[in-house]
Protein backbone atom coordinates (compact mmCIF):
# COMPACT_ATOMS: atom_id res chain seq x y z
CA UNK A 1 0.00 0.00 0.00
CA UNK A 2 1.29 3.49 -0.90
CA UNK A 3 0.29 6.41 1.29
CA UNK A 4 -0.09 9.80 -0.47
CA UNK A 5 1.54 12.84 1.10
CA UNK A 6 1.57 16.53 0.07
CA UNK A 7 2.94 17.64 -3.30
CA UNK A 8 2.68 14.31 -5.13
CA UNK A 9 5.15 12.57 -2.81
CA UNK A 10 4.42 8.97 -1.85
CA UNK A 11 5.72 6.92 1.07
CA UNK A 12 5.89 3.13 1.16
CA UNK A 13 5.14 2.19 4.78
CA UNK A 14 7.64 -0.74 4.88
CA UNK A 15 10.75 1.38 4.68
CA UNK A 16 9.38 4.96 4.51
CA UNK A 17 11.22 5.31 1.16
CA UNK A 18 10.16 8.43 -0.73
CA UNK A 19 9.16 7.89 -4.37
CA UNK A 20 8.00 10.72 -6.59
CA UNK A 21 8.00 11.89 -10.17
CA UNK A 22 8.79 15.44 -11.25
CA UNK A 23 8.15 17.04 -14.59
CA UNK A 24 5.10 15.00 -15.59
CA UNK A 25 2.21 17.19 -14.54
CA UNK A 26 3.07 20.82 -15.28
CA UNK A 27 3.54 21.93 -18.89
CA UNK A 28 4.12 25.57 -17.95
CA UNK A 29 3.41 28.17 -15.29
CA UNK A 30 2.32 31.61 -16.49
CA UNK A 31 2.87 34.60 -14.22
CA UNK A 32 1.67 38.13 -14.95
CA UNK A 33 3.89 40.91 -13.58
CA UNK A 34 2.82 44.36 -12.42
CA UNK A 35 6.26 45.80 -13.29
CA UNK A 36 7.99 43.50 -15.77
CA UNK A 37 11.50 45.04 -15.53
CA UNK A 38 11.51 44.65 -11.71
CA UNK A 39 10.11 41.13 -11.96
CA UNK A 40 12.66 40.15 -14.62
CA UNK A 41 15.51 41.49 -12.46
CA UNK A 42 14.21 39.43 -9.51
CA UNK A 43 14.04 36.20 -11.52
CA UNK A 44 17.38 36.79 -13.28
CA UNK A 45 18.98 37.20 -9.86
CA UNK A 46 17.43 34.23 -8.06
CA UNK A 47 17.68 31.85 -11.02
CA UNK A 48 21.36 32.70 -11.51
CA UNK A 49 21.99 31.36 -8.01
CA UNK A 50 20.31 28.11 -9.10
CA UNK A 51 22.53 27.94 -12.19
CA UNK A 52 19.77 28.89 -14.65
CA UNK A 53 19.70 31.78 -17.14
CA UNK A 54 16.82 33.46 -18.93
CA UNK A 55 17.51 32.47 -22.53
CA UNK A 56 14.22 33.25 -24.27
CA UNK A 57 12.48 36.63 -24.19
CA UNK A 58 10.67 39.18 -26.30
CA UNK A 59 8.88 42.49 -26.03
CA UNK A 60 6.92 42.32 -22.76
CA UNK A 61 7.76 38.71 -21.79
CA UNK A 62 10.45 36.17 -20.85
CA UNK A 63 10.53 32.41 -20.43
CA UNK A 64 12.73 30.00 -18.47
CA UNK A 65 12.00 26.30 -18.93
CA UNK A 66 8.36 25.88 -17.84
CA UNK A 67 8.07 29.40 -16.40
CA UNK A 68 6.54 32.06 -18.68
CA UNK A 69 6.22 35.66 -17.39
CA UNK A 70 4.61 38.60 -19.13
CA UNK A 71 3.38 42.06 -18.21
CA UNK A 72 -0.06 42.48 -16.69
CA UNK A 73 -2.25 44.96 -18.54
CA UNK A 74 -5.64 46.62 -18.06
CA UNK A 75 -7.40 43.31 -18.88
CA UNK A 76 -5.26 41.12 -16.61
CA UNK A 77 -4.00 41.32 -13.07
CA UNK A 78 -0.73 40.12 -11.51
CA UNK A 79 -0.84 36.50 -10.41
CA UNK A 80 -0.55 35.17 -6.88
CA UNK A 81 0.73 31.61 -6.86
CA UNK A 82 3.18 29.37 -5.03
CA UNK A 83 6.12 28.28 -7.18
CA UNK A 84 8.96 26.04 -6.00
CA UNK A 85 12.36 25.82 -7.71
CA UNK A 86 14.67 22.83 -7.28
CA UNK A 87 18.01 23.42 -5.57
CA UNK A 88 20.99 21.07 -5.73
CA UNK A 89 21.90 21.39 -2.05
CA UNK A 90 21.20 23.33 1.16
CA UNK A 91 23.77 26.02 0.40
CA UNK A 92 21.96 26.75 -2.87
CA UNK A 93 18.71 27.24 -0.91
CA UNK A 94 20.52 29.65 1.44
CA UNK A 95 22.05 31.56 -1.51
CA UNK A 96 18.65 31.72 -3.25
CA UNK A 97 17.05 33.31 -0.17
CA UNK A 98 19.83 35.90 0.20
CA UNK A 99 19.78 36.74 -3.53
CA UNK A 100 15.99 37.06 -3.52
CA UNK A 101 16.09 39.57 -0.67
CA UNK A 102 18.82 41.58 -2.44
CA UNK A 103 16.71 41.57 -5.64
CA UNK A 104 13.65 43.08 -3.97
CA UNK A 105 11.94 39.99 -2.60
CA UNK A 106 10.33 39.84 0.83
CA UNK A 107 11.16 37.11 3.34
CA UNK A 108 8.35 34.57 3.65
CA UNK A 109 10.25 31.79 5.44
CA UNK A 110 13.98 31.69 6.22
CA UNK A 111 16.04 28.70 5.05
CA UNK A 112 15.53 25.61 7.15
CA UNK A 113 14.15 22.11 7.42
CA UNK A 114 10.43 21.71 6.99
CA UNK A 115 8.30 18.81 8.21
CA UNK A 116 6.91 17.98 4.75
CA UNK A 117 9.16 14.90 4.52
CA UNK A 118 12.58 13.89 5.89
CA UNK A 119 15.34 15.99 4.33
CA UNK A 120 13.06 18.76 3.00
CA UNK A 121 15.09 21.98 3.25
CA UNK A 122 13.58 25.16 1.83
CA UNK A 123 13.33 28.93 1.88
CA UNK A 124 10.41 31.14 0.85
CA UNK A 125 10.21 34.69 -0.48
CA UNK A 126 7.52 36.87 -2.00
CA UNK A 127 8.51 38.15 -5.45
CA UNK A 128 7.76 41.78 -6.48
CA UNK A 129 4.19 40.76 -7.41
CA UNK A 130 3.45 38.85 -4.19
CA UNK A 131 3.96 35.32 -5.56
CA UNK A 132 5.27 32.88 -2.94
CA UNK A 133 8.55 31.63 -4.41
CA UNK A 134 10.41 28.72 -2.83
CA UNK A 135 13.76 27.02 -3.35
CA UNK A 136 13.76 23.43 -2.10
CA UNK A 137 16.35 20.71 -1.63
CA UNK A 138 14.78 17.28 -1.05
CA UNK A 139 17.96 15.70 0.29
CA UNK A 140 20.18 13.26 -1.60
CA UNK A 141 18.29 11.74 -4.54
CA UNK A 142 19.07 9.99 -7.82
CA UNK A 143 17.58 11.77 -10.83
CA UNK A 144 16.50 9.72 -13.83
CA UNK A 145 17.35 12.68 -16.12
CA UNK A 146 18.49 16.28 -15.79
CA UNK A 147 15.63 17.45 -18.00
CA UNK A 148 13.50 16.39 -20.92
CA UNK A 149 13.77 17.83 -24.41
CA UNK A 150 10.69 18.39 -26.56
CA UNK A 151 11.39 18.72 -30.29
CA UNK A 152 8.57 19.39 -32.76
CA UNK A 153 8.09 16.61 -35.30
CA UNK A 154 8.15 17.42 -39.03
CA UNK A 155 4.74 18.58 -40.21
CA UNK A 156 3.63 19.34 -36.68
Residue 150 belongs to a domain: no
Residue 22, pLDDT score: 61
Task: Tell me whether residue 105 is in a domain.
Answer: yes
Q: How many residues appear in the chain?
A: 156
- 56-85: pLDDT as tens digits: 999 999 999 889 999 998 888 888 999 999
| Other CB atoms within 10 A of residue 153 CB | 5
Rounded to whole angstroms, how far apart are CA atoms 19 and 21? Answer: 7
% of the chain at pLDDT higher than 90: 60
67 falls within a domain: yes
User: Which pLDDT score is estimated for 61?
Assistant: 94
Give pLDDT, residue 14.
44
Query: Does residue 94 fall inside a structural domain?
Result: yes
Count Cα atoms within 13 angstroms, Cβ side, for 66: 16
**Domain-located, residue 3:** no
Which residue(s) pair with 70 in the sheet? 32, 61
- CA gap 10, 98 in Å, rounded: 31
Q: Residue 115 is part of which domain span?
A: 25-71+80-137
For the cut 90, the answer to whether the pLDDT of residue 88 exceeds it is: yes
In the prediction, which pLDDT does 99 show?
98
DSSP strand pairing (29-33 vs 3-5): unpaired
Mean per-residue pLDDT for 94-114? Answer: 97
The span from the CA of 105 to the CA of 125, in Å, is: 6
CATH of the domain at 119: 3.10.180.10
- Average pLDDT, whole number, for the chain? 85
Amino acid sequence: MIIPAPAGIFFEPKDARMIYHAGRLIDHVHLRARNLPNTRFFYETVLAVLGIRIEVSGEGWFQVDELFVDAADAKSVPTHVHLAFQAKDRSMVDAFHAAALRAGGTDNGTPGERDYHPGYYAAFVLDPDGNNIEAVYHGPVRRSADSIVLEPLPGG
